Amino acid sequence: MKVYADNAATTRMSDAALNAMLPILTDVYGNASSIHGVGQEALKALDGARSKIAAAIGAEPREIYFTSGGTESDNWAIASAVTNGAKNGKRHIISTAIEHHAVLHKLKASGCDVTLLTVDSDGLVTPEQVKAAIRPDTCLVTVMYANNEIGTIEPITEIGAVCREAGVPFHTDAVQAVGHVPVDVGAMNIDMLSLAAHKFHGPKGVGALYCNKKVRLNIFQEGGSQERGKRGGTENVAGAVGMAAALERSVADMDANAAKVAALRDRLIAGLTKIESTRVNGSLTHRLPGNANVCFEGIEGESLLLMLDMQGICASSGSACTSGSLDPSHVLLAIGLPHGIAHGSLRLTLSEYNSDAEVDYILEHVAPIVERLRMMSPVWQKK
Amino acid sequence: MAYSEKVMDHFRNPRNVGTIDDASGIAEVGNMKCGDIMKMYLQIDESETITDVKFNTFGCGAAIATSSMATELIKGRTVAEALKLTNSAVVEALEGLPPVKIHCSVLAEQAVKGAVSDYYKRRGLTPPPEAYIDELATEHAYDEEEAAVVH
């Protein structure tokens, strides 16, 4: 059996996305900037995609800018806020310790004074923390909508309200949230929002940045007049159309999918925590429907992933070896886990394509693998 | 990052896993911060031959594979021969390691040296200089040039 349980990394494309893209790739191959028929057809397709994405998050079409994905959207939003802030002598940014590296590394490179808010043991930050951190020279608050590792959903509406009151632009990296939980930029007081198609069954290499029309957005890439002159370059029409079709489908099916996936997730978490010396990471109440994240004491994540892969199970971990650095995940350390525990993390992220039988298969295989690795571990002590 | 067939073979079926109750020498190297800990047990006879060797490892695929390979390379050898084991020899025997995993082979070499050192100390003897462990090396000092050469 092959079980794909790494949907926070990326998802398989939906039929809706693929079927929407194919005719663009084969027939509507024109350049959306061209005057001729096939070019105008491409422009029409692109505008249609923009409208659908805008509708899905409560925005206006002209507030949607197509990008290459979540990382670019995050980088663009931060770069623009930093440049505009500097014009008014504002060089302070507020964010959290558990952001994606697309945000954290960009903030570090910005040269600004950055306040990284701590999170509690569930990974939650409070609007009060944001309010207390705002200074006269704060040019941006950026807080992720939902965490990619532990699935914790932050109080975005309330944080947005705090920012509105203080007159500080508010950006949220909503890459893990869009298509999975309701997002309404107006009601949630969001000024800028990043999303990526491949996290909700769209194609890779395409995403979008929403920017409130009242908030100034600078040019990201010099060139032609594409994306309102702010991001030159021939548009990825098929990608945009695939993203729009995937999002439209995800939003239409959201309630049913969320209920199904959350039920699978809860069964998975309940089964995994039956293994002794196992803890759940992230909030149990403010949590993405598909995210299960646990730590097994006494073992290391990469060997666990390799053994799961040998059984056809695709998962992820926050261990140092899988993060490509010598430290385990900054998110797991930020919620207060010691290094030794953080190294033994397992992230299983589900989608509506997963089944009850697959959850059974995962549970059947995880326990013996954990047992085998613990038997081999010099630090494991049975309690 | 991809592991060689040999690494996966030793990861899937690690050789000499376990402990030795009346071991002649034991060493534990690595640290929890980096996420690799190896514990090695040696059984050494009067002729200074390593008659048995076992290990326990907490760590990634490469950490388990290098521990396993190191035990194979020293089993049946003399203590003097075991002290000549280098991390590069472990990497070579495993048909290469990804550059970011070279530190695991260093840890395996340290585990062998540490256990031999312990064997000398248990008999009230000063370990030979070859058994000296560079503590910094076990802290994952990662030399890119060295990694490039042995890979």
Read off the pLDDT of residues A26-79 as tens digits, 9 standing for 90 and up. Answer: 999 999 999 999 999 999 999 999 999 999 999 999 999 999 999 999 999 999
Read off the pLDDT of residues B87-120 as tens digits, 9 standing for 90 and up. Answer: 999 999 999 999 989 999 999 999 999 999 999 9
Same domain, A184 and A260: no
CB interface of A with B, residues 234-293, below 8 Å: none
Nearest CA in chain B to A370: B58
- What tokens were used for A133? 């951190």
- What tokens were used for A52? 């659908």
Residues of B in contact with A326 (CB under 8 A): 33-34, 140, 142
Cα–Cα distance measured from residue B116 to residue A109, given in angstroms and rounded to the nearest whole number:
48
Same domain, A56 and A38: yes
User: Residue A382: its pLDDT value, please?
Assistant: 75
Looking at the complex, does the CB of residue A363 fall below 8 Å from at least one CB of chain B? no
A356 belongs to a structural domain: yes
A382 belongs to a structural domain: no
Judged by DSSP in three states, A373 sits in helix
Confidence of residue B150 (pLDDT cuts 50, 70, 90): very low
- What tokens were used for A59? 């925005």
Same domain, A121 and A94: yes
* DSSP codes of every residue in B58-112: ES-HHHHHHHHHHHHHHTTSBHHHHTT--HHHHHHHTT---GGGHHHHHHHHHHH
Buried b (16+ CB within 10 A) or exposed e, A288-324: bbbbbbbbbbbbbbbbbbbbbeebebbbbbbbbbbbe
- In angstroms, the Cα distances linking B99 to A272, A346, B68, B93 are 33, 24, 19, 15
A2 belongs to a structural domain: no
Sheet holding A278-280: strands in order across? A278-280, A291-296, A345-349
Read off the pLDDT of residues A333-372 as tens digits, 9 standing for 90 and up. Answer: 999 999 999 999 999 999 999 999 999 999 999 999 999 9
Distance from CA of A104 to the nearest CA of B (A): 22
**Crossing angle between the packed helical segments B61-74 and A301-310, to the nearest 10 degrees:** 90
CATH classification of the domain holding A331: 3.90.1150.10
Same domain, A105 and A134: yes
**Crossing angle between the packed helical segments A301-310 and B5-12, to the nearest 10 degrees:** 100
B151 belongs to a structural domain: no
Q: Which of B26, B27, B83, B104 is catalytic?
A: B104
A381 belongs to a structural domain: no
A8 belongs to a structural domain: no
- In angstroms, the Cα distances linking A240 to A39, A56, B34, B119 are 15, 14, 42, 66
Looking at the complex, does the CB of residue B35 fall below 8 Å from at least one CB of chain A? yes
CATH classification of the domain holding A216: 3.40.640.10
Helices (H), chain A: 15-26, 37-57, 70-87, 101-109, 127-133, 156-166, 237-252, 254-272, 301-310, 320-323, 330-334, 339-342, 356-375
* B58 φ/ψ angles, rounded to the nearest 5 degrees: -105, 115
Note whether A321 contacts B14, CB cutoff 8 Å.
no
User: Residue A321: its pLDDT value, please?
Assistant: 66
**What number of C-beta contacts closer than 8 Å exist between A and B?**
69
Contact A280, A123 (CB under 8 A): no
B15 belongs to a structural domain: yes
Note whether A378 contacts B14, CB cutoff 8 Å.
no
Mean pLDDT of A191-215: 98
Same domain, A21 and A96: yes
- Non-local CB neighbours of A281 within 8 Å, separated by 6+ positions: A123, A149, A150, A293, A294, A295, A332, A335, A337, A345
Contact B112, B79 (CB under 8 A): no
Cα–Cα distance measured from residue A143 to residue A169, given in angstroms and rounded to the nearest whole number:
11
Residues of B in contact with A369 (CB under 8 A): none
Single residue among A252, A281, A316 that ends a domain in this structure: A252
Nearest CA in chain A to B101: A321
Same domain, A272 and A236: no
Cα–Cα distance measured from residue B24 to residue B119, given in angstroms and rounded to the nearest whole number:
5
- Burial (CB < 10 A; 0-12, 13-18, 19+), residue A282, is buried
Same domain, A243 and A310: no
The residue count of chain A comes to 383
Looking at the complex, does the CB of residue A319 fall below 8 Å from at least one CB of chain B? yes
Looking at the complex, does the CB of residue A303 fall below 8 Å from at least one CB of chain B? yes
Same domain, A68 and A216: yes
Contact A68, A239 (CB under 8 A): no
Same domain, A87 and A160: yes
User: Residue B140: its pLDDT value, please?
Assistant: 44
A380 belongs to a structural domain: no
Distance from CA of B6 to the nearest CA of A (A): 14
A4 belongs to a structural domain: no
CB interface of B with A, residues 107-146, below 8 Å: 140, 142
Residue A228, by phi and psi: left (phi above 0), alpha (psi -120 to 50) or beta?
left
Distance from CA of B104 to the nearest CA of A (A): 11
Contact A273, A78 (CB under 8 A): no
CATH classification of the domain holding B42: 3.90.1010.10
Distance from CA of A368 to the nearest CA of B (A): 14
B41 belongs to a structural domain: yes
Of A146-155, A267-276, B33-42, the poorest mean pLDDT is in: B33-42
- Non-local CB neighbours of A331 within 8 Å, separated by 6+ positions: A98, A123, A147, A149, A150, A318
Residues of A in contact with B34 (CB under 8 A): 320, 326
Q: What is the ipTM of this complex?
A: 0.89
Cα–Cα distance measured from residue A184 to residue B149, given in angstroms and rounded to the nearest whole number:
54
User: Residue A111: its pLDDT value, please?
Assistant: 95
A73 belongs to a structural domain: yes
DSSP code, position A180: T
Read off the pLDDT of residues A302-342 as tens digits, 9 standing for 90 and up. Answer: 999 999 999 999 999 987 766 566 678 999 999 999 999 99
B104 has catalytic annotation:
yes
Q: Measure the CA dihedral A380/B1/B7/B13, to 10°.
A: 50
Q: State how many domains chain B has.
A: 1
The parent domain of residue A287 ranges over 254-375
User: Residue B35: its pLDDT value, please?
Assistant: 86
Judged by DSSP in three states, A129 sits in helix
- What tokens were used for A92? 């302070």
Q: Which of B8, B20, B34, B89 is catalytic?
A: B34
Whole-structure pTM value: 0.94
User: Residue B149: its pLDDT value, please?
Assistant: 33
Single residue among A230, A252, A274 that ends a domain in this structure: A252
- Non-local CB neighbours of A100 within 8 Å, separated by 6+ positions: A70, A74, A144, A148, A173, A175
Nearest CA in chain B to A333: B33
B34 has catalytic annotation:
yes
Read off the pLDDT of residues A157-172 as tens digits, 9 standing for 90 and up. Answer: 999 999 999 999 999 9
B35 belongs to a structural domain: yes
Same domain, A65 and A189: yes
Q: State how many domains chain A has.
A: 2
**Closest partner CB to B56 (pick from A301, A319, A378):** A378
Nearest CA in chain A to B61: A303
User: Residue A327: its pLDDT value, please?
Assistant: 79
Same domain, A288 and A160: no
* DSSP codes of every residue in A241-287: HHHHHHHHHHHHTHHHHHHHHHHHHHHHHHHHTTSSSEEE-S-SSSB
The parent domain of residue B63 ranges over 5-146
Nearest CA in chain B to A301: B60
Single residue among A252, A268, A284 that ends a domain in this structure: A252
User: Residue B28: its pLDDT value, please?
Assistant: 96
Same domain, A267 and A356: yes
Contact B63, B86 (CB under 8 A): no
* A174 φ/ψ angles, rounded to the nearest 5 degrees: -105, 25
Buried b (16+ CB within 10 A) or exposed e, B61-97: bbbbbbbbbbbbbbbebebeebbebebebbbebbebb
Mean pLDDT of A258-280: 98
- In angstroms, the Cα distances linking A377 to A299, B29, B54, B72 are 7, 13, 12, 19
Contact A127, A166 (CB under 8 A): no
